[in-house]
Structure 1
Amino acid sequence: MPTFHTRLALQAVASCLLALGLALAAAGAAHAQDKRPNILLIVADDAGYADLGSFGGEIQTPNLDALAATGVRFTQFTASATCSPSRSMLLSGTDNHLAGLGNMAEFMAPNQTGNPGYEGYLNERVAPVSELLAEAGYDTFMAGKWHMGEEPDQWPAARGFQRDLTLIPGGGSHLDDMWGAEGQRQTYTYNGEQLKALRPGFHSSVDYTQGIIANIDEHRDEGRPFFAYLALQAPHDPFQLPPDWRDRYRGRYDQGYDAVRAARIERMKQLGILDPEATVFPRLPNVPAWDDLSEEQKRESARRMELYAAMVEHMDSNIGKLIGYLKTSGLYDDTLIFFMSDNGPEGNVMNMGPPWDNTRIETWGEKGTFIQYGPAWAQVSAGPFRMFKGFLTEGGIRVPLIVAGNGVAGGARTSDAFAHVKDIPATILDLAGVSYPDTSDQAPVAPLQGKSLAPILGGGSEPVHDAADWTGWELFGNRAIRKGDWKLLQLCAPFGSGDWQLYDLRADPAETRDLASQHPKIRDELAGYWDDYSRQNNVIMPIVSPLCRPQN
C-alpha cells in the first residue's frame, strides 16, 4: 500500500498530467467517482447530551430530531472532555496525545511543552481525513471553529481544506466584532487568507452554515463528491443571538434547574435513551437548590438558560437550512450526515471583565455581553451524568451522535454500542473507499486507531468494539480506561482522591457507586491497560493542571 507521502507525490504527478491535457481521463475519473457519498460532518461546540429533543431535551430542535428519525442515535458515543483534543481525534482518527493536542495549547504544562504530541496544533505526523479525501478527489470545505493551530501553516487551508471560513482560535464573540474572551481581536480566515473584517450583521451559526451551502453550490456541477466540515461555535459561550431570537424562551425556565433536569431525565427514559433504573448523579454540593435562591437570583439564572436554549434552537434552525438546501438541490440522498458535540456542556464560569459588559440583564445576548450558564444548568444539559466539560466523567465525555443519510439503513434506530470520536474518520474513509496510509520510514504517520461504524449504520446490531477492546483518556492530569461496561477513573483533588475508581456503566451510568474495592481484579486489569495506553500514546502527565489542586 502506498504511503501517505507517496500518495501526495502521485497527486502532484496526476495534476501535471491534467495540465498537459488529459481532460478525457480526468472526466472519466470524475464520472467513476459519482457514486461515492458526499459527507457532511456537523459539530456543535459544548452541546450537552440531553439538550436535543431526540435525546430528551425540551429545546426545540426539529431539524436534528428529523435526522434522528431517519437515522441512528448513538447513546454511548464518547469524545474527549474539551474541544481541541476532541477535534484533533475527529480529523485524524488517532489519539490526541499523538496528534499534537495531548493537552489544550492554552493549558500546556511546562513538562509537556515541546514534546512530540504536545505541539499545541494538529501535527505533521497525522494524516487528516480532509487531506486524504482531497487527495482522493473529494472537494473539501470547512466553516467554523478550528482550534488546532494558529500559525498559517497550521490553518485549515494547509490541512486539506480547499475552501474555508474559519475562526482560528478556540472561541470568542459570535458576532461581527471579532472579540476574544479577553477582548483581543480574533483571527478569521477565508480560503486560506486572513480576514480583516467580518460582514456587518455576522452571526457564527448563520454565516458558517451559509458558507458551506455556498461552497457546495459553487462546485455541485463539477462531478466530484464533497466533504463538508461545519464546525459550529454554538452553543459555546458567550450566548449571543440576533434580536428576534433573544426572547424565544422567555419564561420557559422559571421553574428552575432542578425541575427541568428531572423532566429531561424522565423523557430520556421514555425515549429509550436511558434505562428506567438508571442512576442519576446528584446536584453538586456547591449548587444551591432552586427554591433556596432569591427571586433576583432565579430571574438571572433562568435568563441565562433562556439564552442558551435559544442558541441551541438557532443552531438547529441553520442546520435545517443546510439540510433543506441538500434536499432541494438533489444532493440529500447522496450525502452521509454526522452530527455530534465535541464534549460535554460547559459548567465552568469565567470572571469576565472589560470590554465585556454584563451589568444589565436587559442587554444580555447582545454584542459586548458574555453570558454563561454555570454548573447548575450544565448538569441539566448533561442529563443524569456526572459533571461536565473538562472532566473525564460521563458528563464530560459522553455526547450525542446522530448519523443519517447515504449508507444508513432504516430509521429512528438507537444503538447502545460503545463508540469513540476516533471512529468517525475511520467510518468516513471506509464509506468513501479511501485507504489510510501506511507508515513511512522517512516520515511516520500515526496509526488510525478508530474503527468503522459502517456495520452499525448498515443495520447490524453487533458492536464494532468487541469484548477485548479498551479505550483510554487523559486530560489535565485526570485519566480513564473503559473496557466493555467497566470504566476506571482517576480524578485529582479537589474533585477526587487521586485513587482509581471503578464503575459499572451498565448499572450505574451516573458513576455514583465506586466498586474498586469490591472488584480488585477488574480494577487492576484496567489499570494495566492504562499503562499500555500511556506508553502507546506517549502520555506525559502534567506537573500543573487547571483542574488539580497543587500538591505540597
Structure 2
Amino acid sequence: MTGRNTRRPGLAHARRRIAQTTGILGALAVSGLCALSAPPVLAQDTAQNNAQAPRVPQSVGLTAADSGAPVWPEQTRAPAGAPNVLLILTDDVGFGTTSTFGGPVPTPTFDALAQQGLRYNQFNTTALCSPTRASLLTGRNPHNVNVGNVTNIPTGYEGYTSNIPDSAGTVARILSDGGFATAMFGKSHLTPEWEMGPAGPFDRWPTGLGFDHFYGFLSADTNQFAPNLVEDRRHIDYPRDDPDYILDHDLADKAIAWIDREKATTPDKPFFMYYAPGTAHTPHQAPKEWLEKFRGKFDMGWDKLREQTFARQKRMGVIPANAQLTPRPEGLPAWDSLSADKKRLYTRLIEAYAAAIAYSDHEIGRIVDALKASGEYDNTLIIFIQGDNGSSAEGGPNGTLFEQSMINRYDEPLDYMLSRIDEIGGPNLYNHFPAGFAWGMDSPFQWYKQVASHFGGVRNGLVMSWPKGITHDGRMREQFHYVTDIAPTILEATGIAAPASIDGVEQKPLDGISMAYTFDKADAPGERHTQVFEMMENMGIYHDGWWAGTSPSRAAWDVARNIKTDVMARNWELYDLTSDYSQSKDLAKAKPEKLRAMQGLFWAEAAKNHILPIHDFSEGAQGRPTATGGATHFVYRSPMTHIVESAAPPTIGKSWRIAADVELPQTPAQGVLVTQGGRFGGYAFYLENGRPVFHYNAIGERQYRIASSEALSPGEHDIVARFAADSNERGGPGTLTISVDGREVAQGRIEATMFGWVSHTEGFDVGSDTITPVADTYTIENSTFTGTFKTITFDVSDPE
C-alpha cells in the first residue's frame, strides 16, 4: 500500500513531467554523460513535434528555470475543519450496567460525555464480539463480511469464514486515505486464528485494515496483569519491571502519547482513534483499591438489582414511562433461594466485574482530559459504545474462577472456588460472574450475550459528544439504530465519502446509514426501517417498530457443547416495540399473520445477507485452515515464542511424543524445552535442577506433575516425553512417560486434558516460557533453557 496517501497526478501533469524528463535526458546525452535511446512513446512525440521543439545548444547548460517550476506529489489532506474521531468500544457491558443508563456501576466519564452530548437508548449490536467489531469498522452486516461468529469458531460457509474481504474496506482505511492519522488500541478480535502467528499474513491484522499503528491484543481476551501484547506486527512483552502494571492503564498511556506525538509532528492532521480496551470481558480484574470500592455493593442479589436499576432508568428517562420489567427466565434461580456460601461467592465475582468497568471508565477519562488539555476536545467527535453485546452469561450458573473452564467443559467444585475467593479480581484467576448477574445487568431486557433474538443480547448504551458539531439538548435519542450505522456517521461528520474501490477492488455497498440526522433533531423520524439479526442460531428481525425472534434453544454457557436444534421448528416470539420497549408482551399467538410476515422478511433478509445456512459452529468446521497445513511432525532447531494455537502441534484428542536432543551445562540444567499455554491451562516440559519434569495444567485443581528423581549429568542427552492417550476423546486421560537416552525415568497418569483449546490467550514456546508459567515451580524470568539443543521434535498421532 505504498503511497496510498498520495493522489495520482492528472493527465496534463503527467505529460508535463514527461516533457521535463525528455529535456533533461536529452541534455545529459548531448553532454556525453549518458547514452540514451528514448522510449518509443517519447521518440514518437519528438518526431511529431520536431518543428516546434526548441533545441538545447551543446554549449548551454540546463538550469532549473529551463525545466519549469518544481512539481511535488500532491499530499492528501482531510477536509478543512474535519473533526478528530475517538471511537470507544467496551466489552460485554449490558445496557443496565452503567450509571449513565441507570445501572449500579458509577461511570463518571461516560456520564460527563452524555451530559455534554447525546444518549441513544435504541442502539443495537450483534450479540457477540467479533461480529460487532467487524460491522462497526466496515459499516456492513457481519455475515456480509464473513464474520457471522467470533473468529475463534469460524465455519466454511460463506458469511462465517472470519475472513474480512478486500471489498469491505474499513472506516480506518477510508479515513487514512482521506488524510487522517489512524490508530487502534486494545482488543482487535478480527484476525482469523490461522493468520495470527508471527509470520502473518498481516492483511487482517489491524495494520492491514487501515490502522497506521496498533497496540493491544489480537484474540478475544487477555490477562490484565500479564497481557499477550502485540505492537503493530510483532508480539512484545509487557513491562515486567512495573509491579503495578495493568493493561487498562497502559493502553490509556499509549493512546495519550500517540495523540501527543501526532499533534506535535502533524498539527494540522486530524486523527481517528479506535479505543477498545477489552474490559469487561472476562477476566474481570482491577487494582486492589478498586476492588475494595465495591465490597458489599451487590449483596441485594440479582432480582433486587434489576428492580433498583429499572426504577432509576424510569426516573432518568433512559427508558419510556410505560416500559415493563421483564421476568427472570426459567433456569435461573431466585436470589433468595441460594445458600449463604453461594451468595458470598457470587457477589465477590460481580464486584470484580463492576470494579473493572469503573476502573476502565477512569482510564478513558484520562484520555478525554488529555484531549481537553491539548485543545483538541471541542473538535473531537467521541462515539462511546458501552459494550459490544449484552452482559455475558458464559460464566454459567455458579460463575467461574477461570473462563477456560467453560471452554474446556470443566465444572469447578464450589468448595475449591470458595477456597480462592480472596483472589478474585487479581492476577492469579480468570474469573467470571454467574449467569444470574448477567441477566441482572441487562435490565429491563430478557436474556444476555449470544442471544441476538432479544434485546438482552443486542441492546447497548451509546453516547456521542462533539462540542463543535453537536448541541446538547438534554433529550434522549430514541431512533432504532444498528452498529453498522457508526461508520457512515463518521464519514458524514468528517466529510469523506466511501470510495467505489480501494486498491482497485470494487467495494461492497455500506449496509449502515448515517445517524447524523439525529444530532440536532431529537424527534426526527428514524431512518432505519429494517435490520436482520442472527447469532449462534438465535434469529431476529426488526421492521418499522415490530420485532420477531426465536426463543433461545440452549444456555449461553453451553457454547462448548454440541447441541443440535431444528432451525425450522424453533418457537418464534412477536413484539410491538412502539408500545413495548422491553419486549415484555409476546403477541405471536394474538397476531399470527403479522408473525408470518415478519418470519418471511427474516428469511428474505437472511438469504440476502449471507446468513444461510443457519448452523451450529461445529457444522462446517471440517477442513478449517491451519498455519501448519495439517502436519503431524514438527522440528524446532532454535528457540521461538508466541506461536499461536493453530500453528502449534495439535495435541487435543491425540497421543504425542516430544524428543529433545540437548547438551547440558556443568551446573544443573534449568528451563523450558517446550510449553504451551500458561497459568490458566496448558503444559510444560522442562528441567528443574537437572531433573526432567512434565507438568499438565488442566485448570484449577486439575494439576498433573510427572518428574524424574534423577538429575541428569552434563553433556549430550536425548530427553523424551511421550503421552499415550486412552482414546481419541477430546479432554480425555492418558499416561505420560519420560525417558532419557532410551531409559524410562518417570511415568504417571494425566487424568484430564484440554477439550477446547490448550490456550486461546498464551502461545506455544520453545526454549523458554512467556507471559505466565504453566507451573508454579518456575517463573518466566528463569524459564530460559540453560543448555543448548540441536533439535526438538514433536510428533502427533492417533491413540493406539
- How high is the TM-score relative to the length of structure 1? 0.88
1:367 alignment counterpart: 427
Tell me which structure has the larger Cα radius of gyration: 2
Q: Does the 8 Å contact 1:385/1:395 carry over to 2?
A: yes
Of the three residues 566, 586, 603, the one matched with 1:531 is 603
Which deviates the most, 358-367 or 436-445? 436-445
Matched residue, 2:135: 89
User: 1:464 and 1:360, CA in 2 relative to 1: closer, same or farther beyond 3 A?
Assistant: same
**For residues 85-120 of structure 1, what are the alpha-carbon distances to aligned partners after superposition, in whole Å with 9 as ceiling and x for unaligned?**
000000000011111202223333xxx41x443221
1:58 to 94, 104, 107: 104
Task: Identify the residue that residue 231 of structure 2 maps to in structure 1.
Answer: 190
Q: Shift of residue 293 of structure 1?
A: 1.6
Match of 1:298 in 2: 343
Structure 2: which amino acid aligns with 1:401?
L
Post-superposition Cα deviations, 1:213-252, rounded to whole Å, max 9, x if no partner, equal 1111101131100000001111111111122222111111
Aligned to 1:204: 247
Residue 323 (structure 2) pairs with residue 278 (structure 1): yes
**Does structure 1 residue 404 correspond to structure 2 residue 404?**
no
Task: Flag structure 2 segments of 5+ consecutive residues without an equivalent.
Answer: 15-68, 556-564, 620-800
Q: Which residue number corresponds to residue 214 of structure 1? A: 257
| Counterparts of 1:118 and 1:198, CA distance in 2 | 37
Q: 1:329 aligns with which of 352, 374, 377?
A: 374
CA deviations 1:416-475 (Å, max 9, x no partner) are: 110110000010011111111226897342210111111111335213425xx2110111
Aligned letter for 2:505?
A
Tell me the CA shift for residue 545 of structure 1: 4.9
Please say which of residues 470-479 and 423-432 is displaced more in the overlay. Answer: 470-479
Is 122-131 or 326-335 further displaced after alignment?
Answer: 122-131
Separation of aligned partners in 2, 1:8 and 1:540? 39
Q: 1:271/1:509 Cα in 2 relative to 1: closer, same or farther (>3 Å)?
A: same
Q: 2:217 aligns with which of 167, 188, 193?
A: 167
Secondary structure at the counterpart of residue 144 of structure 1: strand
CA distance in structure 2 between the partners assigned to 1:62 and 1:505 by the alignment: 30
Distance 2:70 2:297 in 1: 63
2:394 equivalent to 1:348: yes
Residues 451, 464 of structure 1: 8 Å contact kept: no
How much is the aligned-residue C-alpha RMSD, in angstroms?
A: 2.8
2:499 and 2:174 map into 1 onto residues whose CA distance is 9
| 1:494 to partner: Cα distance | 4.4
**3-state SS of the aligned residue for 1:143?**
strand
Alignment partner, residue 512 of structure 2:
450
- Partner residue, 1:338: 383
Question: Partner residue of 1:426?
Answer: 488
Amino acid at match of 1:342: D
1:12: how far off?
A: 6.6
Hey, what's the Cα distance between the residues in 2 that align with 1:308 and 1:196?
Answer: 26
Counterpart AA for 2:592: P
Alignment partners' CA distance in 1, 2:74 and 2:504:
32
- Deviation of 1:478 after TM superposition, in Å, equals 1.9
The equivalent of 2:361 in structure 1 is: 316
CA contact (8 A) 1:241 1:311 kept: yes
Q: Does the Cα contact within 8 Å between 1:96 and 1:102 map onto a contact in 2?
A: yes
Q: Which secondary structure state, in structure 2, belongs to the residue aligned with residue 173 of structure 1?
A: coil
The one-letter code of the counterpart of 1:46 is D
Question: What is the SS of the residue equivalent to 2:152?
Answer: helix
SS at match of 1:415: coil
Instruction: Work out whether residues 136 and 487 of structure 2, in 8 Å CA contact, stay in contact via their aligned partners in 1.
Output: yes
**Sequence identity, in percent?**
29
Q: Secondary structure at the match of 2:382?
A: strand
Aligned to 2:612: 540
Encode CA deviations 1:34-83: one digit per residue, 9 max, x unaligned: 51000000001011101111210122111110111111110000010001
Contact 1:71 1:413 in 2 (8 A): no
**Secondary structure, aligned partner of 1:480:** strand
Residue 122 (str. 1) matches residue 164 (str. 2):
yes
Between Structure 1 and Structure 2, the one with more strand by share is 2
Task: Check 1:127–1:441 CA distance in 2 against 1; reply closer, same or farther (3 A cut).
Answer: closer
Deviation at 1:529, TM superposition (A): 1.8
Higher relative contact order (CA 8 A, sep 6+): 1
Matched residue, 2:535? 475
Distance of 1:542 and 1:69 partners within structure 2: 42
Matched residue count? 521
SS of 2:215's equivalent in the other structure is: strand
Q: CA deviation at 1:155?
A: 0.6
Contact 1:33/1:224 (<8 A) preserved: no
CA contact (8 A) 2:120 2:463 kept: yes
CA 248–523 in structure 1, closer or farther in 2 if over 3 Å, else same: same
Mapping of residues 105-184 of structure 1, within 5 Å: 105-108=151-154, 112-113=155-156, 115-149=157-191, 150=193, 151=195, 152=200, 153=202, 154-176=204-226, 178=227
**In structure 1, how many angstroms separate the alpha carbons of the residues matched to 2:430 and 2:130?**
21
Take 1:254 and 1:9, find their aligned partners in 2: how far apart are those partners? 56
Residues 125 and 214 of structure 1: CA distance in aligned 2, closer, same or farther (over 3 Å): same
CA contact (8 A) 2:518 2:524 kept: yes
Distance 1:366 1:157, change over 3 A: same
Q: Matched residue of 1:202: which SS?
A: coil
Q: 1:505 aligns with which of 577, 583, 602?
A: 577
For 1:197 and 1:312, the matched residues in 2 are separated by 22
Contact preservation (8 Å) 1:474, 1:480 = yes
Q: 1:292 to 1:9 in 2, by over 3 A?
A: closer
Name the SS of the counterpart of 1:50 in structure 2.
coil
Q: Distance in 1 between matches of 2:338 and 2:89?
A: 35
Shift of 1:285: 2.6
Write the distance in 1 (CA, Å) between the matches of 2:235 and 2:297.
41
Map 1:240-251; keep pairs closer than 5 Å: 240-251=285-296
Please tell me the residue identity of whatever aligns with 1:231.
Answer: A
Residues 436 and 365 of structure 1, relative CA distance in 2, 3 Å threshold:
same
More helix by share: 1
Q: 1:442 to 1:143 in 2, by over 3 A?
A: closer
Quote the offset at 1:362 in angstroms.
Answer: 1.1
Per-residue Cα deviation, 1:174-196 (whole angstroms, up to 9, x for no partner): 122x3xxxxxxx4x321232224
Aligned partners of 1:145 and 1:168 also within 8 Å: yes
Single out whichever of 469-478 and 403-412 deviates more from structure 2: 403-412
Deviating more after overlay: 252-261 vs 479-488 = 252-261
CA distance 1:213–1:262, change in 2 (3 Å): same
1:383 maps onto 2:455 in alignment = no
Aligned equivalents of 1:127 and 1:442: distance in 2? 12
Match of 2:592 in 1: 520
SS of aligned partner of 1:501 = strand
Segments ≥4 residues shifted beyond 3 Å: 7-14, 20-26, 196-202, 350-359, 439-444, 494-497
Q: Secondary structure at the match of 2:476?
A: strand
* Structure 2 contact 79–494 (Cα < 8 Å) conserved: no
The 1:490–1:318 alpha-carbon spacing in structure 2 relative to 1, beyond 3 Å, is same
Structure 1: segments with no counterpart, 5+ residues: 179-185, 548-552
| Distance in 1, Cα, partners of 2:320 & 2:481 | 18
CA distance in 2, matches of 1:55, 1:514: 25
> Matches of 2:300 and 2:463 in 1, distance apart?
30
CA gap of 1:413–1:205, structure 2 versus 1, over 3 A, is farther
TM-aligned CA distance change 1:308 to 1:117, over 3 Å:
same
2:35: which partner in 1? Answer: none
